[in-house]
Amino acid sequence: MTLNINTRILLNPWKGPYGGVPPFDRVAVSALVPALEKAMQEQLAELQVIANNPQPPTFANTFEAFENSGHALERVLTIYHVYSSTMNDTAMQAVELEVEPKLAAFHDDIIQNSALFARIATIYNKREQLNLSVEQQRLCWLHYHDFARAGAQLKEDDKQSLAIINQRLATLFTEFSQNVLKDENEVQLVLDSEQQLDGLPLGECEAAAAEAQTRKLPGKWVIANTRSSVEPFLTFSTQRQLREKVWRNFTLRGDQGATDNKMLASEILKLRAQRAKLLGYTTHAHWQLEDSMSKNPDNALQLLRAMWKPAVQRVREEVADMQKLADKDGIKIEPWDYRFYAEQVRKARYDLDANELKPYLQLEKLREGMFYVADKLFGLRFVAVDKNQVPVYHIDVRVWEVQDANGHHVGLWYFDPYARRGKQSGAWMSEYRRQEKFVGNITAIVSNNANFVKGKADEIVLVNFDDAVTLFHEFGHALHGLLSNVQYPSLSGTSVVRDFVEFPSQLLEHWLLTPEVLNRFALHYQTNEPMPQSLIEKIKNARNFNQGFATLEYLSSALIDMELHLAGAIDIDVEAFERDTLQQLGMPAEVVMRHRIPHFTHVFAGDGYSAGYYSYLWADTLVADAWEAFVSSGNVFDPDITARLRECIFTAGNQQEPDLAYRAFRGRDADVQALMRKRGFV
């Protein structure tokens, strides 16, 4: 294969400072396909050398050789995933559709290499007789189980069937994701009079005007079909008919017309069930949860169902309170009314108006607050990097070097905070390079990504309280990646089971509301005065307000996810399944799932959170218990607790079972009642 310069750029080791950085300034989307194909060929050849090694298998010539393969592919995949999630234009979507089935086939080629797996199994079966470290034994376990669970022991005919399923799933995942992105990019509500803005805070009006300018609609206002635009509109707009339109636009993503995802979801479910059966599991849910903290679907369902009745009861109480106000307007509460009237009740009950909070929640000050927490907890410093020194893929992206308390380099943190066309909605953390010490002292490169509406040039960006919490959440993931201190990349950073990976991130959310952070960084954007103590007390008093709604919209999505994947290889009409299951659960009519099936990208844009959306609640059980340790100490930066948190959780990666890691941190298992206390359900 003759490689042009653009392809070689993607394949070559990264150059520049900090151990090399991604060459975002020299990326050509057209080079991604040949670069990925070449990199896959290279790793397959590297693995075949391991498989054909005439020497008896050892940990070094098998497991360590495996860890030392595929570096070129890792580099290309980093660029590919950044562009597919943040710069996903028509050209990039074509690349995805071509590449995803090839990546699935590549993965199957590795798993189905019988000679390679035989060497892995040989070392795994005698690992306890070898002089291996704890981390090396964990690596043996990880690779053996990854191969075995993915079909390495299947008969040849079954391996071929599995490969066909995996490649088809890869295509379906891509189509599902692209349909949702298209509805978020192209569906919008255009407002053409100031009257239609009634009730919206000034900042939301300005954001809608800026969105209209971006879409070449001067003199108008646009409510984009993304959560960051929709939820404030539903909270503040007095225009009920417009609230309904915005709500329907958002809840019907992927549900109609050319972007209808229902048949795709149904096929995905059936293929997953077939794959699970091939692999020897009762259902896809049993396969997914085998290596999780929950171990099996029954344990996950037990937690979800334990929360359901208290959440439903709380929602009924919330609706009753709201209906008293809605009666004065002559309406019955509908889903598009919930946030609006909840805000009215909060004002009346707690004298707390969300508009009071937002002037104190400046995006840049919150970022500084996150840096402060990282310093107080872990001794980390963030030093801004000149864009001329480290290239970025978009002008909005900024980079910081992360240093320890002694000024030593720890890693790089990229920040991409603003929404734009072609960027997936929501907020997330990505790892561009995982920390390791196997082939040198390799430091981590991570990013945090969000979808705030960018204002005019030099305009201060204000965020709502929920978005501020999300910022701290995703930063927790980033710290988990940055602080990793392990030998092997496969065990590094956030490479832990799904229902444990959310623990560090959800725990970090709690520092946002501490006096140490609010007094320093919750500063009014005009006066620079700190948030008044009276307002902070209102926030604390109202911390469990609307908890029924927040819990139930999440729980309904998590339960639907689990029930879908426990249904087996039957033909599922996803629309009927969603409707009937919610009816059986007793879902209040005033609440809709946070993620309905046709746009549930956590579950249908990949296998990651499939039968695993419950994991946020599982992790929150750990979080609630862990935070009580800090609170009971009287010091939210208690040095002893913080040291254990760093050593047992943030630096440890996947060196041991997560329940053992948590026990090492806390000194015992988590108290499950802490979750009920946290959510005010006791």
Which residue among the candidates 318, 401, 474, 563 is catalytic per the annotation?
Answer: 474
Q: Is 657 a catalytic residue?
A: no
Give the neighbor-by-neighbor strand order of the sheet with 398-403. Answer: 381-385, 398-403, 409-418, 444-452, 428-433
Q: Which residue has the tokens 């896959």?
A: 40
Of the candidates 446, 470, 457, the one whose C-alpha atom is nearest the C-alpha of residue 396 is: 457
Q: Quick one: residue 27, left, alpha or beta (phi over 0 = left, psi -120 to 50 = alpha)? A: beta
Could you give the CA distance from residue 372 to residue 379 in angstroms, rounded to a whole number?
A: 9
Q: Judging by DSSP bridges, how do beta strands 221-224 and 188-191 pair with one another?
A: antiparallel
Residue type, position 436, single letter: E
**Helical H runs in 329-464?**
338-350, 354-357, 363-378
- The DSSP line for 313-350 is HHHHHHHHHHHHHHHHTT----GGGHHHHHHHHHHHHH
Q: Which residues of 54-90 are buried (b: 16+ CB within 10 A; e: fewer)?
A: eeebebebbbbbbbebbebbebbbbbbebbbbbbbee
Q: Which residue has the tokens 């050509």?
A: 28
Residue type, position 260, single letter: D
Q: Which residue has the tokens 């995905």?
A: 268
Task: Tell me if residue 401 falls in helix, strand or coil.
Answer: strand
Could you give the CA distance from residue 103 to residue 81 in angstroms, rounded to a whole number?
A: 12
Cβ neighbours, 10 Å, residue 407: 8
Q: Quick one: residue 256, left, alpha or beta (phi over 0 = left, psi -120 to 50 = alpha)? A: beta
Q: Please, what sign has the CA dihedral across residues 30, 454, 480, 670? A: negative
As annotated, the active-site residues are: 474
